[in-house]
Chain A
Amino acid sequence: MEEQYLLKVDNLHTHFFTKTGVVKAVDGVSFSIRSGETLGIVGESGSGKSITALSIMKLVPNPPGRIVEGAIYYNGEDLMSKSEKQMRRIRGNKLSMIFQDPMTSLNPVFTIGRQLVETVRAHRDLSKRQAEARAIELLTLVGIPDPKQRLKNYPHEFSGGMRQRVMIAMALACDPELLIADEPTTALDVTVQAQILELLKRLQEELGMAIIMITHDLGVVAEICDRVMVMYAGRQVEFTNRIALFDHPKHPYTWGLLDSIPKMEKEKRRLQAIAGHPPDLRYLPQGCYFADRCKQATEECKMHEPTLTKLDDHHLVRCLLYEDIKVEST
């Protein structure tokens, strides 16, 4: 019996067709998420985290981008077959996203208040006055002081972190069922971050909201994610639950990632970085995409492309090191 998923992404491929070649930004990603669950997506910068999120929202800039293969089901409905008009009704209402770049997603010529009120009224049948009250409530929720006064400000009059909080407020305006948060706390300091994470947790409990949390902060992952997907060069390289990710990471890239975290220890020593660069997504190498940066890599890794292998019920990994110990009972 198949479990009931809120969102199911199946073998998603999103490519950009540029003058200089096809950029395979997302190349075969599959996952699903249930109501009330928090799924973390971590991975190298440029590995396709944001494009995965934009694909779900069907907001990939086209041209040059296009979903070339794969399926996305939301509540059992096929999003790929939805028209733009139908998508607009779903977006911002049931399915909501906090974008990574707050400055480009806020319109610089309108006040914060006007933009919030418009967002609220786009999906709810409220009077202007009611919408304004809701806007103030939302700004209070995300911890903006003096919200009534602040509604009259323009985006450039807000600090980076405050703009980010406005984006969070907008995404929460209609109590979404699924919130995709792309680096929502990156611009925020730790105390506000702690407040926002608390807020998200609370909303999740109250409304059963599911969250896809894209972040590079493994502290955030440790705090709120149930399961975690690690991406590298457009693909999943590891997929497991939170505890296993930290206690038994399997993929050499994940090892590198965990080693890179700056430690708050007394001795100041050089940070551990993963040497080298990710591959050019237009000319992907044969074999494992991580091979030329991997300390464990053998000649075979450069020849054979590893497949996503199931180690146990909670752990998938894409690495030749584990291919022979595949469990057969799937």
Chain B
Amino acid sequence: MTTLLEVKDLEKHFPITRGAIIPHKVGAVKAVDGISFKVEQGKTLGLVGESGCGKSTTGRTILKLTEPTGGHIYFDGQEITHLKGEKLRRLRQDMQLIFQDPFASLNPRMTVEQIIAEPLKVFGMHKEERQKRINYLLEVVGLSSYHKERYPHEFSGGQRQRVGIARALALEPKLIICDEPVSALDVSIQAQVVNLMEDLQKAFGLTYVFIAHDLGVVHHISDQVAVMYLGEIVELGSYDELYAHPKHPYTQALLSAIPEANPHRKKERIVLKGDVPSPATPPTGCKFHTRCPFAEQRCRLEKPTMKVVSLTGQEAACHFVEEVSDVVG
């Protein structure tokens, strides 16, 4: 198996500046704060975690839509951390992004046809072939050819998201970073799109980084899952294992918070106390200690590192992995 994407100690800090005339840095939002993972060719890494924990920033940094402030990114055997100019442009063909916000990411002045045609034109595809490809792409994402002449504002939320997916698929990239691609879709279309993405993955050997907060969908599509909290990865493992035996207390809380589509079953919830701390002033020690039901003195002082916690290579960053997983079973 070959590794298509590797991220090592990746960091993205946004400076906080004050002063309108002479801006000076007074701090930093540590949106991504030293994360590492690998994604094998043809596989899917799911990236989950609380709102604001740095998932989108991770995706945007990998695509070099924003410059990393530290760490390394390797793609297809090549370090791309500081790639620029023509090389970066060529790389972009192989890496695509499906945006979280379908409203802000589509040009309102272009018809759907023009939106999808754009990358194909840049690629130099002829008009006739382009037409065929556009019709095909619309078909696979569940839109009809009569949608072609419409503008984004004439679509519902879910329909717009499908336009974004069609555009990302246009050039058959190697890697697609999917930033909550199905969050805005109703479940029946969610199922269609997830099935579609799985089919495309098999057919073209696509590799996905699949960002989501819906653990049901992540569970379904991912080979590996990384759980993020405040800019760091706290647990990483194969999907079955993570769901069967979550080791980190945060993962356990996330799993317990999923609302179940069954009005008769009341779930036992692990309710996290307090609010998500600000990424500008993260807590000392383990960043999760302010909300962790098991936190002790050591957690406030000492930062836990990722440790292998099972035979299959599941990893978690918690001082009390053994004790904690005993509690939940």
Q: How large is the interface on A (under 10, 10 to 19, 20 to 34, 35 or more residues)?
A: 35 or more
Q: How large is the interface on B (under 10, 10 to 19, 20 to 34, 35 or more residues)?
A: 35 or more
Asked if B71 CB lies within 8 Å of chain A CBs, one says no
B191, B194, B217, B243: which has the most chain A beta carbons within 10 Å?
B191
- A45: which B residues are within 8 A, CB to CB? 156-159, 184-186, 189
- A272: which B residues are within 8 A, CB to CB? 191
A192–B153 Cα distance when bound, in Å, is 29
Residue in contact with B188 in the complex, picked from A160, A194, A219, A273, CB distance below 8 Å: A273
- Closest approach, in angstroms, between the C-beta of A167 and any C-beta of chain B? 13
- A145: which B residues are within 8 A, CB to CB? 275-278
| CB-based nearest A residue for B240 | A266
Residue in contact with A190 in the complex, picked from B187, B215, B276, CB distance below 8 Å: B215
- Closest approach, in angstroms, between the C-beta of A53 and any C-beta of chain B? 12
Known contacts A101-B103, A189-B51; is-contact A263 B216 (Cβ 8 Å)? yes
Q: Please encode chain A, from 33 to 54, with 1 for each CB lying within 8 Å of some chain B CB and 0 for all others.
A: 0000000001111110010000
List CB contacts (< 8 Å) of B241-274 with chain A: 243-244, 253-254, 257-264, 269, 271-272
| CB-based nearest A residue for B183 | A186
Asked if A262 CB lies within 8 Å of chain B CBs, one says yes
Asked if B296 CB lies within 8 Å of chain A CBs, one says no
- B101: which A residues are within 8 A, CB to CB? 101-103, 160
Asked if B146 CB lies within 8 Å of chain A CBs, one says yes
Do B220 and A191 touch across chains, with their CB atoms under 8 A apart? no
A104–B152 Cα distance when bound, in Å, is 13
Known contacts A222-B262, A268-B220, A271-B220; is-contact A260 B190 (Cβ 8 Å)? yes
Residue in contact with B261 in the complex, picked from A102, A146, A222, CB distance below 8 Å: A222
What are 24 of the A-B contact pairs (CB < 8 Å)? Answer: A23-B154, A44-B189, A45-B157, A101-B101, A101-B104, A101-B157, A146-B278, A159-B52, A161-B52, A164-B51, A192-B50, A192-B276, A193-B213, A216-B190, A246-B262, A247-B263, A262-B191, A262-B220, A264-B215, A264-B258, A271-B191, A271-B220, A274-B191, A280-B144
Given contacts A104-B103, A186-B184, A242-B263, 17 further A-B contacts (CB under 8 A): A20-B149, A45-B184, A61-B153, A101-B104, A146-B281, A159-B52, A164-B51, A190-B215, A191-B272, A193-B259, A194-B269, A223-B263, A257-B188, A261-B216, A263-B216, A264-B258, A277-B142
Interface residues of A (CB under 8 A from B): 16, 18, 20, 23, 42-47, 50, 61, 100-104, 140, 143-146, 149-150, 157-162, 164-165, 183, 186-194, 197, 216-223, 242-243, 246-247, 256-258, 260-264, 266, 268, 270-274, 277, 280
Interface residues of B (CB under 8 A from A): 14, 29, 48-52, 56, 100-101, 103-104, 142-144, 146, 149, 153-159, 180, 183-192, 194-195, 198, 213-217, 219-220, 239-240, 243-244, 253-254, 257-264, 269, 271-272, 275-278, 280-281
